Amino acid sequence: MSISSLLSAHSSASLSDLSEPSIVTRLRSAGCVFAEDEARLLLSAAATPSALADMVERRITGLPLEHVVGWAEFCGLRIEVDAGVFVPRPRTEFLVAQATALAARPRPVVVDLCCGSGALGAALAAALGGIELHAADIDPAAVRCARRNVTSAAGRVYEGDLYAPLPRSLRGRVDILLANAPYVPSEHIGLLPPEARDHEPRVALDGGADGLDVQRRVASAAAQWLAPGGHLLMETSERQAPHTAEAFTRGGLTVRLATCDDLGATVIIGTRPH
């Protein structure tokens, strides 16, 4: 049998049994822990049997589920996530909740640095019902994705390194500064799950030798952009939290720690003194 005949036979076999139990079996065999939930999601997302077969194949080869279906659920929203873009984590919903609680006035000025898909800014806009939203990322693919998510929240997205692309008019005006900066130490990238290390951009994961290079850069300049009483919120790990807090203090911010055991989330909150 020729190679083309073999491929055709494989394709026909894949398309012949697209029942939920069959998909669950294939997903479970590939190591998907939540195979039943994933199967239902794939079935609901696919427009045709051919599309479903393709989505199942991509998932069992290790592509993140969010990249397969094209979106991630975050804070109750459907956030578009393109292939190659960082997938927002459930634990980061805690950062958004903390930011929501800190909003002290109508239509606060919000900046989402290292925005990735724009999930944090979009979620905060939905929670507060109206903000002046600006977001930035150095990765062009992330910026293209964020523009779709953030535009729906009447926000603007800029491409560039941290604060560099932001309008100068924002200096001293930012009420809430979100920065889900990368914090994985470089030597630990290889220990991440394959879905992250093989399919998400390294720039969104790699925080340098100790994981804090980007966090320090954000913290050192934050006071120049925050309004008096404005807040910087940054996710970190429990182990790194004291060092992240030290970077905030060196940047002239007063610091407190917030944690959520259920989500495994650690957030450092820095406030510019009045």
In angstroms, the CA 136 to CA 122 distance is 13
Contact present, 142 and 204 (Cβ < 8 Å): yes
Residue 6, strand partner residues: none
Choose among 77, 174, 85: nearest CA to 137. 85
Choose among 222, 214, 227: nearest CA to 248. 222
Q: Which two tokens stand for residue 50?
A: 């051919």
84 CB neighbour count, 10 Å cutoff: 14
> Which residues, in sequence order, are CB contacts of 253 under 8 Å at separation 6+?
219, 222, 223, 226, 232, 270, 271, 272, 273
> Full-prediction pTM beyond 0.85?
yes
Mean pLDDT, range 148-177, rounded to an integer: 93
Q: Say what the pLDDT of residue 5 is.
A: 39
pLDDT tens for 181-239 read: 999 999 999 999 888 999 999 999 999 999 999 999 999 999 999 999 999 999 999 99
